[in-house]
Homo-oligomer: A and B are copies of this chain.
Amino acid sequence: MTETQGNWLSEQELNTARSRLPIVYVDAVPVRTDDLGVIIEIGLLLRASADGEVNREIVSGRVLYGERVRDALLRHLEKDLGPLALPQIPASSQPFTIVEYFPNPDITGFHDPRQHAVSLAYIVPVEGDCEPSHDALDLVWLRPDEVLSPTVAAELSPAHEKVIKHALAHSGRPV
């Protein structure tokens, strides 16, 4: 698996690929669940944007060459939530949805100015101690009703807000 770890694709090569091929992504909604698997809290990363705004995000990132989807899920979750997060990668590889991001915001309503990405989305319970990664300001755990409140929702990207709503619907919770 060494080839998946190295930074073998230069930034410029990646940018070229991004303008020519859809990129495989994973989106993970980190959650705390109770004994019954009910979602109690959702983990959101806070990042400062270039223009000083605070954005809230779920875990998201691309799948590298040679890497299984579950390898990519674990790697991104540990990178964003820390090495002691103990994410429970799902036994099933069926995503609860796929999210198709396009530079053109009108195609699916999921917008990514950088690339065309096809993202496999999973709900991932996290059991361990989390600490935000170095490129994040903070990591907060919020109840589903808090996440869906106008204040918080306004700080989520529209795409991530939709993925979270879909994840909650999928868990059986009315949205």
Contacts and interface: CB of A to CB of B under 8 A. Distances in A.
A91 B39 contact: yes
A125 B22 CA distance: 26
A120 interface: yes
Which secondary structure characterizes the binding site on chain A? loop
A69 B23 contact: no
A174 B89 contact: no
Given A36-B74, A91-B125, A65 B172 contact: no
Given A70-B38, A94-B97, A20 B174 contact: no
Chain A to chain B: the 8 pairs with minimum beta-carbon distance, closest first: A37-B89, A93-B172, A109-B174, A166-B169, A36-B70, A22-B24, A162-B174, A91-B123
Interface of A: 8-9, 13, 17, 19-24, 31, 33, 35-39, 63-71, 73-74, 88-98, 100, 102, 104, 107-110, 116, 118, 120, 123, 125, 158-159, 162, 165-166, 169-175
